[in-house]
Structures are given as structure tokens and as C-alpha cells.
A and B are shown apart, each in its own frame.
Chain A
Amino acid sequence: MEMSIWLFFGLLVACSVGVRLQPLGSVVQRAIAAAVLAVGFLVCLVLGVGFVTELFGVLLAAVVANLLTADYVPQRYRIALAVAVAVVFFLAAPWLLENFRLFQFSRVAVWVIVAVGLNILTGYNGQISLGHGAFVLIGAYTSAILMDDQSQLGFVDGAAWPFWTTIIAAAVVSGVAGFALGFPALRLSGPYLAIATLALAISMPAILRKYDGLTGGAQGLFVKRPPPPPGLGDVLERDEWLYLLCVGVAIVMMLIAWGILRGPLGRAFVAVRDSEVAAAAMGINVARVKIAAFTISALYAGVAGALLTQLLGVMTPESVDIVTSINFLTAIVIGGLASLLGAVIGAFALVLLPSDGPDILGEIPLFPDNFVQKAPGAIQGALVILVVLLMPFGVAGSYHRLIATPAGRIIDGVKGIPAGLRSRLGQVREDVLWAWEDSPFNRRSSESDSGEEADP
């Protein structure tokens, strides 16, 4: 069974939201709703009306998810459950999606790791970087060099390292590079840091090409893409295994980030971002915190790089070019700064916008076909500008605002809604709000709203 990613996303969102909401009526009402939707779904399926079928399916999923959980799962666990639903969806993707989508999703998982790391540095700590592509390359080459069986590294004695050890090695090497670069970064303010990190990203490919003894120069290095572990070989193909590997690592890295950000170090990151003077007055060692942010951020990029090597099977100086490096920053600004959800949205945008954007816009009759195919970047660039203009806190921030405020006002503003339904809708809104406020993705709004204005 293969489905379109839009259905995939629809079901994902429906199930997660269904799990999060308060009971949408009594058990009987929900059961009736589910039955009606199921009948509608089946009828449409038989009639073959395409899009409407999917719509019924998505609504059905939301109601069923609510029916199954609302009465039995205590409120405070429902967020965790919603996240678990999302995780299950992504773990099940190999069996739900086409192969090329799966490969795209693998890439998304890798970029999520980079974006989370960059968000720690830029969104939470306020240090801008246009150069994370360089850290990704450092991690990727560390992995590729260690896995190369004609390894030029004397101490490895020609034996390739197992792939998972190279991921750790990549994390360490990239982290050390980030640590080292954290020191000069201390002295540079906003625009100067932006340009200095851009310089780093530009230099890295030239350096890799030049010292070809180790890096294979412009041809790059080839590695054997790791096969599924013994025992799983029968159920998983290599691409599926690699996808699961990337998603698994991404999830672990997000959990670690979540833990760091809600702990004392995370609070220090934000304090330093909002005011270095005030943070220092509170007894925070500003320099140490900023270097820590750089180190952690680079480490994340290194892990992502190592995964990228496994995924591609080849690493060249152009595998992560300067445009990609710049796009990491664009992605987290679009997705939403200082938000883990924002990092995920940004990573999806990074992959899906260029591949699907033209197709979607091509449907609009105004656009000449020629334009959509020949100028995909124009659409991407225009979208980036529009998002910044219209959604100052990124997509994640708008999502938050959307469910946090106007829904109730819209309902209040519509005349002729029976009082009972009105209060029920109000309740739904409260639930969504509550679900959001408590969400692990929502550190920012609990932090302080005024902090957003003072962003880097």
C-alpha cells in the first residue's frame, strides 16, 4: 500500500490532534460520528471520488483517535501520546510511502538534526550562523574517511570502521570544530558573525578539494551503504533500513535537545540571547554558555553529516553546497525560531518546497508552465519573503497564534450558532489551546512573549 504524502500528513495531523483533544462529545456521539464517517468513507471508496474519500478518511481517523483515547488516557499523558502517534507514523512510513518519498523523508530526518542544532545556536542562543554546511561536511567526511576500506589513515590499518562508530566519531570531530570556532565567534556581533560563518561554509569545499590525499579531492569518497543488521535483512530493504536509522537518530537527537533546552543550560541559552548583561548579572558565564551552544550545534550538524554519508554512499565537496548551508538558516526562520516543531517544519520545507512547490503552483492557471519548471527558485524565494512578511514567528509561531486566539472570536462573531454547539466549539478551542500550551514544542511562549521581539 502506498499513499500520497498529503494523505500521509493529513492522517498524521488528524490522529495527533484527535489524541490531544478533550472528548468530542459523549462516547455514543463519537461512536455515531465514527459510524457516519465510516459509511461515508466506504461509499466514496466504492464510487471512487478520490479527494473526498481521503477527506472522510482523515476525519474518521481524528474521531476514532479521540474515541479510543479521550476517556482512557489522562490529560497530561495525551501530549506524549500525540507525539507517539507521530513517531509511529514516521516509523511506519517505509510501508506507506513510495521509494522516492522515503528517500526524501530520510533527507528530511537528516536536515531535522541540522535544523535542531542550528535552532539551539540561533533561535535559543541568538548567534547567527550561515556556515552550518561546513560542520555537516566535517561530520560527513569524518565518517567517509573512517569507513573507506582503502583508508589513508595510518592508524586504522586499512580496516573500515563499522558505520555506527563513525557517527560517534563525526559527532566528536564536528563538536570539537564547533568548540574551536565558538571562541572567535564570541568577539563577533550579528552581521560580522553572519559573514564570518558564510566564509567558513565557502572555504570548506575548497579545502576538501585541495587536500585530496585524505578526502579524495573533487571525486570525493565512496562508502558502502550499510545493509540492514542481520535478522532484519528479510523484512527491510537497505533504503528502508537507512530511513529508519535516520529517523531513529533524529528522534533521539530531538529528545536530547528537548532535555537540554528545558534544563538549566537551555534557560541560560535564552537568558544570554535576551540580554548578555542581565545574564551575566544573574551569575551566568556568558562566554561558556555561548561556546557550549556552538559546540552542541556543530555536534548536531556532524551527526547529520555522518548520516548523510550513509544515505548517499558518496561524499563530495559539493554534497553540501553553499546554497544548502544558507538554506538551513532560511529553514529555521520559516519554520519558527526557538521551536523544535519549527525545526521539523523547516526541514520539511527545505526538501519538499523545491520538489513539490512547482507542481502545486503549476495547477494555478496564472502561471505559465515554462515559468514553474524553469524558475523553481523564484517560487521558493518569493515564498521565503512572504513567510517572513506574513508570519513573523515562522510557521510554528503562526500555528500557535492561530489556535491560541482567533478561533473563539470567529465563532463568537458568527450569528445563529445554537448555544450548545457554541459552547462545545469553545471547549474544543480551549483544548487545542491547552494542548499547545503544554506541548514540549512550546517552550518559547512559556518563556516570554517579549523575548521574541528581541530575537537576534
Chain B
Amino acid sequence: MIEVFLAPAPWNDPELFGEQVISGLATGSIYALLALGIVLIYRSTDVVNFAQGEMAMFVTFPMWSLTLAGFPPWTVIFIGIALGFALGGFIERTIIRPVEDKPPLSVVVVTLGLFVFLNSIATWIWAQGELPKVFSTPFEFNSVDVGVARVTTHSIGILVAALAIMGVLYLLFNYTKLGLGMRATAHNPGASRLMGINVGRMLMLGWALAGAVGGLVGMLVAPITFLFPSFMLAVLLYAFAAAVFGGLDSPPGAIVGGFFVGVAENLFGTYTPSDILGPEMKLPLTLLLLVIVLLFRPAGLFGHVRTRRV
């Protein structure tokens, strides 16, 4: 009854395929970064931060004001990262710390409340007047050829920036004392105090780093999607998918998950028959894939099912 129009097969058009994969990797690196923020917070404070995207938005808007005021793009990016760092730390200190020992559900609701709060405040402050706003990129939007595919310099810039951040975080966690302390706090806060680690500071630092990474993501996404108060929502959803796919407590998992989700999303959009699936269904399809993965690996690909001493 239903006629199925077959979508283009990947092997018929390698150029298209390559383009889809590379742009998938570029968006995937964004998902990976935001997912990394989610994982940093989940590992250190056991909180799924639903406000992660709005925190990024809340950094990007003032940075947009700075660009209007004539600050050069790179300066703006670094100020934004610093602002995100401060915002993350501030939120942990003021809002999350008091609910630390409450049931997880209460904490989830607090981050949902934070989501609504930040979104609304941003609408009030910045979203008067014309929307969406244009956010400039230090990488420009020129086209370049990569192998068979043609992509923008901004995409490549994102990819490079994401890899750089991941490298920095990797070094921080594995080769510095601070990173050692943060990992220890994530595993066993009680014992960490006995080691002389200032656990409160580590938790705050976890949120601060997540805020910084989030701020960067906001500033990298805004040039593509333009800037409006809910511009991070779609990115956040894919980032959640990425974080869960890799395992909420695994930073490498978040990165693998991010790239995977980015590419899968593009391929779903391009290579499924458009009359019954196609681009509009790429989000549901990606999420369905995620749920299927979870059925076989309930804590994601690299995550641990948490067992805790009582």
C-alpha cells in the first residue's frame, strides 16, 4: 500500500556521504563538549543538570553585547569562558549546595527550576527587540574542501576548539594533582576529606568547569543557529543523548557519544526514506537509537552501574 521511495544510497554519492559525516563530526563535537559538561557535573555532584544549556545561553548573551561594543572575537571567547566558569561555580555554591543531601528528585527539580529561571531572565534582559540575534565567529564562514567534501571553516574551527578543550581536560584530570583530587571526590567524597581534599571546592570546580565548557559551546553554536533565549534547547537534547549514550559518569564516553550522535543524526536525516522518516524524524530516530542502546547497556557504553557503600 505505502510506496517507499528509497533514499539515496551512500555509495552512489561519496561526496554527499563525506560531507554528511564531516559536518556530523563538527556538530558532534559540539554535542560532545556540552555532554562533557553534563558528565563533569554528574560525576562530581550526582546531579543531571537540566540547566546546562541555559547556563551556556546565559553566557552567550552578554558576550553578544560585548561584540556589539566592539570587542574582538577571540577576546570575547575568552571572557565568555571565564564568565561561564564563574557562573557555574556561583550556581553550585548558592543553589546546589543547599540541596546536596536532598533526594535526587528534588535536585532534578531544582535544575529544572533553574532552567526556567535563567531562560526567563535572559528573555527579560536581552530579548527585547529584534530576534534572533547574529553572533559572529572568529573562524568565518568560508568553504573549504576536505577530501571529497566541502565544509565551512567555522565547522573546522569548532572541531579544533572542541578537540583542544578535550585535550586540556584530559591533561587536567590525568596529570595534575587538582585533577586527581577531582576524580577522587567524584568517586568517594567521604574518603577524599580524609585525604585532606577540600571536597566543597572540588564540587564547585566541577560545576565551574562545566559552566566554562558550556559557555564556549554557546558561543560556538550561536553563529550557526543565531541567538535567542531557547537556542540551546535542541543542542542540549542531543548532548543528553550523547552523555547517556557514552555513560553519564564517563568523560571519554561523552566524547564518543557526541561524535556518534552527530553523525547518526546526519545520516538518519539523509539516508532514510523521506516519505515515512527523513529529516523531520532525525531527532526521534536518534533518541530511539539511544533507548535501544540503553536496553543493552543500561549505564551507557562506558558508564558504570553505580554501586555505593552504604
A333 near B281 with CB under 8 A, answer no
From A191, A202, A334, contact of B42 by CB (8 A): A191
B248 near A192 with CB under 8 A, answer yes
From A122, A192, A207, contact of B244 by CB (8 A): A192
A32 at interface by CB-CB < 8 Å: no
Known A192-B299, A330-B113, A453-B103: A199·B290 in contact at CB below 8 Å:
yes
What is the minimal beta-carbon distance from A424 to any residue of chain B, in angstroms? 38
From B50, B106, B121, B287, contact of A392 by CB (8 A): B106
B294 near A376 with CB under 8 A, answer no
**Residue interface bits B235-247, CB-to-A below 8 A is 1, else 0:** 0010011001000
**Residue interface bits A175-194, CB-to-B below 8 A is 1, else 0:** 00000000010011111101
From B48, B113, B283, contact of A206 by CB (8 A): B283
Known A371-B124, A377-B119: A384·B287 in contact at CB below 8 Å:
no
From A188, A326, A329, A333, contact of B298 by CB (8 A): A188
From B106, B108, B116, B281, contact of A381 by CB (8 A): B116
Complex Cα distance A453/B287, Å?
32
From B23-31, B67-75, B94-102, B172-180, the one touching the partner chain is: B94-102
A73 at interface by CB-CB < 8 Å: no
Nearest-neighbor residue (CB-CB) of A128 within chain B: B105
Interface class of chain B by DSSP: helix
Complex Cα distance A451/B118, Å?
33
**Interface extent on A, as a size class?**
35 or more
Residues of A within 8 A of B200 (CB): none
A388 at interface by CB-CB < 8 Å: yes
Nearest-neighbor residue (CB-CB) of B229 within chain A: A377
Residues of A within 8 A of B136 (CB): none
Known A206-B284, A374-B123, A377-B119: A385·B244 in contact at CB below 8 Å:
no
29 intermolecular pairs with C-beta atoms under 8 Å apart:
A184-B295, A189-B299, A189-B306, A192-B244, A195-B244, A196-B290, A196-B291, A196-B294, A199-B241, A203-B284, A203-B287, A206-B283, A210-B280, A329-B109, A330-B113, A333-B105, A374-B124, A375-B121, A377-B120, A377-B123, A378-B124, A381-B113, A381-B116, A381-B120, A384-B109, A384-B110, A389-B98, A389-B99, A455-B105
Identify the A interface with B (CB < 8 A): 122, 128, 184, 187-192, 194-196, 198-200, 202-203, 206-207, 209-210, 323, 326, 329-330, 333-334, 337, 370-371, 374-385, 388-389, 392, 453-456
